[in-house]
Structure formats: structure tokens, C-alpha cells
């Protein structure tokens, strides 16, 4: 190689050597650089991209269930421990837990409560005695609060606290207490609803089952079954009530028919106002009747009372006729017919009384003339008597003189009649009027 050729290839070799040195330098730079630190999900401001924290949906069972129960991994100790649990800043989480407890954020809000932070610590370190002790203190405070909610009837608030406690301590006494209290109240409300439905208080039954339905943690299917059962009870009760009402209606209709038949039978048999307790008037008064039926029966009875009273007047059963007319008047009998019958009754009373023979001793006699002794009787020393009936008229005189008997016959008759013709009396008053009254007297003729 010539000197000129050596000088012309030197720059090329230097360029190649520089490139090789640069490549080796870059390689050593990457080879000995410290690896980057991993990003912790618990370190503030270092949450990985595309990661969201969402609250677990609590199940809707009929009992208090831990939220973590849906995990396929079994719980160990007080909190679940998983192989892929993220790294926890224990001291930082303790600070968060104590701050939450100091602010009374014991069980809520979700993700920022004392329970949540202690659960994180125990998930990472199940045997952390400090976390266990502080968690016990928090649970004690939660239990006090939940008990106060139960006493105040704030069952939903107590239930929410129990659910939160069950997530970290499923066997805690508070969980059992709240569950038992709500179960007992639910049972009482269901029993109350059933009893109310059976006794016919449908509103009370509805209110009780609605109150049971509003209790937290109640199974919708159970409440629906209770509602269906109560609906069956109500339907059965109403059907029974309808049947009883129909039976009562039929019985009442039959009783009414029987009562009407008894009244009509009494009318037809003439038991209008007698005997006591079994006559048409009393039966009609004692029976509850529709207005139209009462009107018909009253008209039938009134017509029979008037007809029977007229017949009794003809039969001279005057007191009976008067009683029937009085009864007819109670039922508003036809005034014209009633007046006519009363006039007939009064006339019948007067006629009957006038025809009754009274002794003259029952009258006040204002004039008396003794009969003259017949000569033919005195000459023969004959004694005897004459019995005379006569009428004391309304003006007090004697009329219609009649010899009904004498002994001896025809001896003293004329003398007796002539004497009675001159007698006078005070007129007799009967039923408010002066009447002609028949009277009788025996006149004795004796010479001694």
C-alpha cells in the first residue's frame, strides 16, 4: 500500500470506531440502570390507569349476610385473606381507621369507614393484635348505636349497621340481635295481620302486613305468600259472611211469612182481641213487618173487627161488641162506619136496659097512690095479690101497665092497675141519657 492510500483510508476507520464505541456505551447505560419501583394501589396519587373502585352490591336476603360472602374464597379469622391481596400501607391505614373512628364514621360511608380500614389491615395481617383490639372497640360503639336504633324503632338503620358488622364479624352478637329483633317483629306483624283478617278488620290487616313488608331484610316471596294467605282468609270470611247473610235473609223471610200466616189465621178464626197473647191485635203489634204488609193486615183486621162488632150487636153481646169497636178505633177504622156502629150499640144498650125489669125500690118514687080494696072482695073477706110490670117513662110517669100474675085471678087486677097509673117517679138516667125503664111491683091485698 502506498503512503497516499494509507492517508485516504484513515478517516473511514475512525468513523467506524466511533460508532462502535457509541453502541457499547448505550448498551452499558441500559444494562446498569436501576429498575423502576412498582406502583402501589394504596399510595396516594399512584392509582393505576383503567382501575375503578366500586362498592359491592349487598344481597337482598331474608337475613343479615356479610358483603364478602359472595367471594369464592373461604374466610379465615376475622377478615378474608387472599393470595393476591394488594400491598397495604399498615401505618397509613391505621391512621385512616383512627381518623374515621374519631369522626364517628364507624361503618359508613362505604370505603372510608373505620370498619373498612381495619378490614384492610386484618386482610393483610390477620394476627395484628392492635387492629383486633381497636376493631373490637369500634364494634362495641356500633353495637351501642344499633341498639339505640332498635329501641327507637329505626330498624333500617340498625339493619344497615348489622350488615356492615356481618361483613367483618359474621358471628358478632349484634348481627344475631338485630336479626332476631326484626324476625320477632315480623312474626308479630304477620300474626296481627292474620288475626285482623279473621275478625274482619281488613284495614288493620293491610296496615300490619305493610309494616312487615317495610322491615329491612324481608324476603319478598315470603311477604307475597303472607299476602296471598291473608287474601284467602278474607275471601273465605267474606264468603262465610255472605252465606250467613243469605241464610239469615231466608230465615227472616220464613219467619215473616210464618208471622203473617199466624196473624191471618187468628183473624179468620175470630181471635181478634182474645185470648190474651194469641190474638190478631197483639200478634200484629208484636211483629216487625214491611209497611205495605202491615197496611194490608191492619185493613183486614179492622174490617173483621167492624163486621164482628155489628154481629155481636145483633146477638146482643154488647160488651163484646163495644170492645171490638174500641179496637177498630185504634186502627183508624172508617169514621162513618164506626159512628154508625157506635150509635147502634148505644141504642142496643138502651133497649136492653129498658127491657130489664127493675124493682120499684130502685126508683125514687115521687107520687104513690094505694089501690082501693074491691067491695066484692071485702064482702067475701077475700085477700090476694097482683103482680104488675110497667114502664117508668123518661118524664117519670107510669105507662104500658101489664098484669103478669094475680091471685085470685081478676079480683084485684083493676084496682091495682088504677093505682099504678097514678104513680110518678124520678126518670132513670143510663149511659148519659134519660130512658124509659121497665119496672115491676107486687101489690098485696089483705083485710087485716
Question: DSSP string spanning 429-440?
Answer: EETTEEE-EEEE
What is the tens place of the pLDDT at every residue in 122-159?
999 999 999 999 999 999 999 999 999 999 999 999 99
HSE-CB of 379 using CA atoms within 13 angstroms? 4
440: β partners: 359, 389
What is the tens place of the pLDDT at every residue in 362-410?
999 999 999 999 999 999 999 999 999 999 999 999 999 999 999 999 9
What is the tens place of the pLDDT at every residue in 215-239?
887 777 878 888 888 888 888 888 9
Question: How confident is the model over 176-193, as a mean pLDDT?
Answer: 90
Query: Residue 370: its pLDDT value, please?
Result: 95
Counting DSSP H helices and E strands in the chain, the numbers are 14, 8
User: Quick check: 174 and 161 in contact, CB under 8 A?
Assistant: yes
3-state SS string over 396-431? CEEEEEEEEEEECCCCCHHHHHHHHCCCEECCEEEC
Alpha-carbon separation of residue 403 from 123, 353, 385, 444 (angstroms): 147, 21, 11, 13
Superfamily of domain 357-445: TonB (3.30.2420.10)
User: Quick check: 399 and 386 in contact, CB under 8 A?
Assistant: no
The total of other beta-carbon atoms located within 10 Å of residue 122's CB is: 21
What is the tens place of the pLDDT at every residue in 12-23?
333 333 433 333
Per-domain residue ranges for the chain? Answer: 270-354, 357-445
Query: Residue 86: its pLDDT value, please?
Result: 63
Cell of 198: 279473621
Which segments within 232-356 are labelled E, that is strand? none
Q: What is the pLDDT confidence band of residue 448, given thresholds at 50, 70 and 90?
A: confident
- In the chain, what are the helix, strand and coil shares in percent, each to the nearest 5? 60, 10, 30
Q: What is the pLDDT confidence band of residue 442, given thresholds at 50, 70 and 90?
A: very high
Q: Does the structure show a pLDDT above 80 at 7?
A: no
Mean pLDDT of the chain: 83
Q: Does the structure show a pLDDT above 80 at 54?
A: no
Higher pLDDT: 399 or 48? It is 399
Q: What is the pLDDT confidence band of residue 78, given thresholds at 50, 70 and 90?
A: very low
The rounded distance, in Å, linking the Cα atoms of 75 and 57 is: 18
Query: Residue 14: its pLDDT value, please?
Result: 35
Query: Residue 110: its pLDDT value, please?
Result: 86
Q: What is the pLDDT confidence band of residue 66, given thresholds at 50, 70 and 90?
A: low
Question: How confident is the model over 161-182, as a mean pLDDT?
Answer: 89
Mark 80-119 as b/e (b = at least 16 C-beta within 10 Å).
Answer: bbeeeeeebbbeebbebbeebbeeebbbbeeeebbbbbbb
Q: What is the pLDDT confidence band of residue 64, given thresholds at 50, 70 and 90?
A: low
315: left (phi over 0), alpha (psi -120 to 50) or beta: alpha
Amino acid at each position: 500500500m502506498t503512503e497516499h492510500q494509507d492517508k485516504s483510508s484513515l478517516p473511514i476507520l475512525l468513523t467506524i470506531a466511533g460508532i462502535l464505541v457509541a453502541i457499547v456505551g448505550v448498551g452499558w447505560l441500559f444494562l446498569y440502570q436501576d429498575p423502576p419501583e412498582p406502583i402501589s394501589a394504596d399510595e396516594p396519587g399512584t392509582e393505576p390507569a383503567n382501575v375503578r373502585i366500586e362498592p359491592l352490591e349487598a344481597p337482598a336476603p331474608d337475613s343479615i349476610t356479610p358483603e364478602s360472602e359472595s367471594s369464592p374464597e373461604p374466610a379465615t379469622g376475622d377478615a378474608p385473606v387472599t393470595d393476591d391481596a394488594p400491598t397495604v400501607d399498615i401505618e397509613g391505614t391505621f391512621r385512616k381507621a383512627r381518623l374515621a373512628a374519631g369522626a364517628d364514621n364507624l361503618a359508613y360511608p362505604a370505603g372510608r369507614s373505620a370498619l373498612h380500614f381495619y378490614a384492610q389491615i386484618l386482610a393483610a395481617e390477620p394476627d395484628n393484635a392492635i387492629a383486633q383490639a381497636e376493631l373490637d372497640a369500634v364494634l362495641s360503639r356500633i353495637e351501642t348505636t344499633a341498639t339505640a336504633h332498635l329501641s327507637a324503632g329505626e330498624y333500617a338503620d340498625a339493619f344497615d349497621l348489622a350488615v356492615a358488622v356481618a361483613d367483618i364479624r359474621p358471628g358478632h352478637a349484634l348481627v344475631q340481635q338485630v336479626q332476631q329483633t326484626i324476625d320477632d317483629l315480623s312474626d308479630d306483624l304477620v300474626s296481627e295481620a292474620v288475626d285482623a283478617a279473621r275478625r274482619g278488620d281488613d284495614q288493620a290487616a293491610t296496615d300490619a302486613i305493610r309494616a312487615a313488608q317495610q322491615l329491612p331484610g324481608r324476603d319478598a316471596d315470603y311477604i307475597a305468600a303472607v299476602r296471598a294467605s291473608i287474601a284467602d282468609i278474607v275471601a273465605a270470611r267474606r264468603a262465610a259472611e255472605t252465606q250467613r247473610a243469605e241464610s239469615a235473609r231466608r230465615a227472616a223471610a220464613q219467619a215473616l211469612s210464618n208471622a203473617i200466616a199466624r196473624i191471618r189465621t187468628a183473624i179468620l178464626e175470630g181471635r181478634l182481641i182474645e185470648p190474651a197473647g194469641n190474638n190478631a191485635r197483639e200478634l200484629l203489634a208484636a211483629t216487625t213487618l214491611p209497611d205495605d204488609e202491615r197496611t194490608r193486615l191492619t185493613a183486614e183486621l179492622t174490617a173483621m173487627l167492624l163486621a164482628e162488632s155489628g154481629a155481636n150487636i145483633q146477638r146482643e153481646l154488647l160488651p163484646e161488641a163495644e170492645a171490638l169497636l174500641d179496637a177498630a178505633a185504634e186502627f183508624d177504622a172508617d169514621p162513618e162506619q164506626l159512628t154508625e156502629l157506635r150509635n147502634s150499640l148505644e141504642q142496643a144498650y138502651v133497649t136492653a136496659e129498658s127491657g130489664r125489669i127493675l124493682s120499684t125500690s130502685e126508683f125514687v118514687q115521687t107520687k104513690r097512690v094505694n089501690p082501693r080494696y074491691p067491695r066484692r072482695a071485702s064482702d067475701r073477706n077475700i085477700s090476694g095479690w097482683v103482680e104488675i110490670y110497667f114502664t117508668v117513662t123518661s118524664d117519670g110517669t107510669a105507662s104500658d101497665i101489664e098484669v103478669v100474675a094475680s091471685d085470685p085471678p081478676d079480683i084485684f087486677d083493676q084496682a091495682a092497675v088504677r093505682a099504678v097509673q097514678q104513680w110518678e117517679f124520678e126518670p132513670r138516667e143510663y149511659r148519659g141519657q134519660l130512658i124509659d125503664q121497665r119496672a115491676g111491683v107486687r101489690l098485696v091485698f089483705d083485710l087485716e
